[in-house]
Chains A and B, each alone.
Chain A
Amino acid sequence: MTLMNRRTDEAAADPSTAALRAIVPATGRSWRDRLTPLIPLVVLIALVLVITIKQPNFLSLYSMRGLLESVAPLLLLALGQMFVILTGGIDLAFAAVASFGTVLLALWIPDMGPGGIVLALLVTSLIGFVNGFVVAKAQVPSFIVTLGALGLYSGIGLWISGASTIRLSEGYDVVGWLADLRIAQLPASGLLAIVIAVVIAVLMGTLRRGRALHALGLAEPAVLMSGISTVRLRILAFTLSGLFSGLAAVMLVALQRSGGPSLADSMQLPAIAAVVIGGTAITGGVGGAMKTLVGALIIVVLRVGLSAVGVDPAWEQVFYGAVIVAAVALTIDRSRLRSIK
C-alpha cells in the first residue's frame, strides 16, 4: 500500500474528527432547526394575548365564531397550496380556480343538487391535474404555467357567469348546513376545515409514502433515482391543490349563498401568506398541515387584531405583501437555490 493510502487511512481512523463532523451540524443550523419551527406558534399565542388585553371580548364565543368562519375557506385554500409548495413549486391559479368553482357550484347545484358538488370538485381536481401534468411533463416552471391557468380559468369563469355574482337560492340546503350547523355552539365550517388539516397531518405522518412530497421538494433527482415517479408525485400535488380549491369553493358558496367569478380571488395572497408564515419553506421540502393551520390562524387573528387596534383595513394588502416577503426571506433555504430567478 502506498504512502498516500496509509496517510488518509490514519485520518479516517481517527474517530474523533469523523464523529465530530457527524454530530455537530453545520454552523447556524442547530439554532434554526430547533427554534424556527416554534416561532409561528409563539407569534400566534402572543397575538392572541395582545389582542385579548386590548379587547377582552376577543376570546368570547361570538368572536370565536367569526374567526372560525373566516378561517374555513382560507385554511382549505392554504392546505391545497401547501401540497404544491412542499414540492418546491407554486400554484398561482388556486384562488382563481376556487372562484371558478363557486361559479360552477352556483350554476349546477340548483339542477343537480349534491351531484353538482361532486361534479364541481371533479372539475377543479381535473384543472389541478392538468396544471400538474403540464408542469411535470413539459418541465416548465410552475409559476408561469399556473399564471397562465389563472388567466384561463378567470376568463372562463367571467365568461360563463356573465361577469356577475350568481345567487344560490334553490338547492342551497345542499351546502347550507355548512354555514348553519353548530357543534358545541361553534360553526361547523371552521371545525371541519381544522379537522381536515389534522387528518392531513396525521396521514402525512403515518403513511408509508407520507413524506414523499417533502422528499420531492428536498431532493428531486435523488427521489427519481430511487425509482419513485416524480412526475406522478408532482401531478398529485397539483391535483390536491385543485381539489382543495374546490372544497374552498363549496365552503364559500355555503357562507356567501352565492358564487362569483372573482369571489375567492382576494384570498390568493392571504392563503399563500398563511402557508409561508406557518413555516413551510417556499423552496420546498419543509412544512406541513399543522404549520399551515397555525399560519392560517395567524392571518385571521391578525386581520381581526388589526381592526381591533384601529388600523384601516386598507392596510391589509400591504401587510399580506410584506408578510409574504418577510416570511419567505426568513424560511428560505438559500443553499438549495442554485440560481435565484
Chain B
Amino acid sequence: MTAVLEVKDLTKRFRGVVALDGVSFEVRPHEVVGLIGENGAGKSTLLKVLTGIYQPDAGVVLRNGEPVTFRNSSDAARAGIGMVHQEQSLVTSVSVAENILLGAEGDAVRFGFYNWPKLNAVAQRQLDKIASAISPTTIVEKLSFAERQLVELAKAMYVEEGAQVEPVIILDEPTSVLEGAELETLFAQIDRLRQIASVIFVSHRLEEVLRVSDRVYVLKDGRSVGETDAASADIDLLHRLMVGRESSAQFYHEDEQLPVDEAPVKLQVKNLTRAGQFEDVSFDVRAGEVVGIAGVIGSGREELSRVLFGAEPSTSGSIVVDGKPVKFASPVDAVSSGFGYIPAERRIEGIADGLSVAENIFLVAPQTAAWGPFRNPKKALEIAGAWIKRLRIRTPDERTNVGNLSGGNQQKVVLAKWLNSPELEVLILDHPTRGLDVGAKEDVYIFVREQCAKGMAVVLLADSLEETIALSHTILVMRDGRIERRFDAPAGSKPKPVDLVERMV
C-alpha cells in the first residue's frame, strides 16, 4: 500500500548548523505514527517543513506517492496536512467557526461578505467529525484549554475539505498541558481520528506515545535513528534509541572536573515554588560546582532558571546566597548579588545588537574601565582586547557591531560580559551551547571548567543529556515541575543517559 505521506532524506540547515540531516520516514493510511526525540533532535524543524513554514535544503516529500513542494502553510493545507500546534494558534477574540475556516472561508464568504449560516455549518461539520459538542458560534476565549485543543483539531480536520483526500493530522505535543480525564478524551479522539485520517503524534511522554501509536520513529541529531512497532517496543528500547551514542569524556574535558565536597555552599534554594510552573524545589550549589538540571519542555526547569535570576517572580520559598537570604524583584537585584545569566534566547536577551563588541562587554560592569563616572576608553580597549584574545572571539575589532558576529562568537561576547564583572559568583547557563558549532561548544566547555576551578557556582540547563552529564557534579532531574531525582556525577563514575531519561519522561 502506498504511504499517505513519505519523507525521504530531508535536510535543513540554519546558519551552517544542521537541524535535519537526511531524515526519512513514512505514514501509512489510517495509521498513528509516534515521533519522539530529545529537545533539539529536529522534531519541530521537521514539522515546520511538513506544514510549509520552512523549505528543506534537500530531500523530497511524497503525498500519496506524488512529490509535493510546500512554499507556505496554505500549500500544505491544500495537500491535506493539518496541524494542531503545541502553543495554540487560535485567535481568542473571534468565534470557533471563524477560527476553523480562517484564511480559507471558501463559499462562506462571497465578495468579502460573510454568510454566517454557511460558515457555521461548515465549521459544525468539522466539529461533528471529531464528535465535539462545542458550538461554532462560541467565542474562543470562553473555552477551556482542552476545548480549544478540540477546536484546533477541528481546524486541522478542515484541510480535508480543500484537499479532497484523507488528511494527515499532526499533533505536536498535544498532551503537555492536559491531565487525567482531559487526557483520556484526547486518546479517544485520536482513536476516532484513526478511522478518518492518518496521524503523526509528537510527544516526549513515551508511555503515551506507545499507547496511541502503531509505529514509532526516534529522531536524534536530525536523523531518524530508529523505527519500531509500538506493540513490540518498550520504554527501555525507546530510551536507548533516543540517547544513542556514548558521550566522549575528552570532548567535555571531563578530566578537568575537580571534586567540590569540601567547598563552601554558595547558593541554597529552599522549597522554591512558582505556581503553575514548578514547586518545592530545593538544592545546594557549592563554590566550583556545576549543578545540571535535566528535564523536558514543561518540566519547569526553564522557569526555575528564570526565577533564580529574578526574571520571573517566585510564589514561595527562598534563595540563600552565602548563608544570607536574598529577594530578587528583578534581574537588577540578582546581578548585584553576584549572579550572571547566559540566556537561551541569545539574540534577544544575550547580546545588545547594534552596540559594539566592547560596549556589550562593559554592559554589566562599566566600572572596570572608568575614571569615576567617566569612561576610560584606553583601558576599555585593553580589557576588551584581552577578552577577545582569551576567549578567541573572531571579530575584526572591538568596535564591530556584535550583531554581525557568528552565533558562537556572540555567545563568547556574552560570556565575556559576565566574566568581566569582578562580583560574579553564581552563573546560570541556560542552553549555553544552543546553535553553536562543535568548536565553539568545546570553547564553552573549557570555559566552564576554568570558572569552576576558580570557585564559580554554576547552574546548568544543557542542550543535551550528554552535555548535562559530562559537565555536572550533580544532576537534578525535573519532571512536571518537581525534582524527580538527584544524581551524583563525579568524574569517572557518571550516570548513564538512560538512567536520566527514565526519570524525565
Contacts and interface: CB of A to CB of B under 8 A. Distances in A.
Contacts, number: 119
A22 B352 contact: no
A215 B352 contact: yes
B373 A9 contact: no
B455 to A, nearest CB: 21
A208 B221 contact: no
Given A9-B439, A11-B16, A211-B359, A222 B395 contact: no
A229 B221 CA distance: 39
B353 interface: yes
A208 B373 contact: yes
A18 B417 CA distance: 22
B360 to A, nearest CB: 8
Contacts of B248: 1
Nearest to B351: A222
A222 B351 CA distance: 6
Interface string A173-206: 0000000000000000000000000000000001
Contact of B331 (A5, A19, A206, A227): A227
Contacts of A210: 375
A223 B335 CA distance: 12
B363 to A, nearest CB: 4
Interface residues of A, number: 41
B206 to A, nearest CB: 24
A5 B404 contact: no
Given A4-B18, A18-B394, A207-B373, A219 B352 contact: yes
Interface in B367-423: 367, 370, 373-375, 394-396, 400-401, 404-406, 408-409, 417
Interface residues of B, number: 51
Nearest to A2: B245
A226 B359 CA distance: 12
B222 to A, nearest CB: 8
A14 to B, nearest CB: 10
B349 interface: yes
B405 A22 contact: yes
A26 B17 CA distance: 19
A214 B437 CA distance: 31
Contacts of A23: 396
A21 B438 CA distance: 17
Nearest to B406: A21
Contact of A227 (B16, B334, B348, B406): B334
A208 B374 CA distance: 5
B354 interface: yes
B350 A206 contact: no
Contacts of A32: none
Contacts of B395: 22
Nearest to A26: B404
Contacts of A206: 374-375
Nearest to B414: A222
A222 B348 contact: yes
A281 B440 CA distance: 35
A225 interface: yes
Interface of B: 16-18, 21, 221, 245, 248, 251, 309, 311, 330-332, 334-336, 341, 343, 345, 348-355, 359, 363-364, 366-367, 370, 373-375, 394-396, 400-401, 404-406, 408-409, 417, 437-440
In the A-B complex, the 5 residue pairs with the smallest Cβ-Cβ separation, listed nearest first, are A227-B335, A219-B352, A218-B354, A12-B439, A12-B437
16 contacts: A2-B245, A5-B251, A9-B437, A9-B439, A12-B408, A19-B394, A21-B404, A29-B404, A207-B374, A208-B370, A208-B375, A209-B366, A222-B363, A224-B331, A227-B332, A227-B335
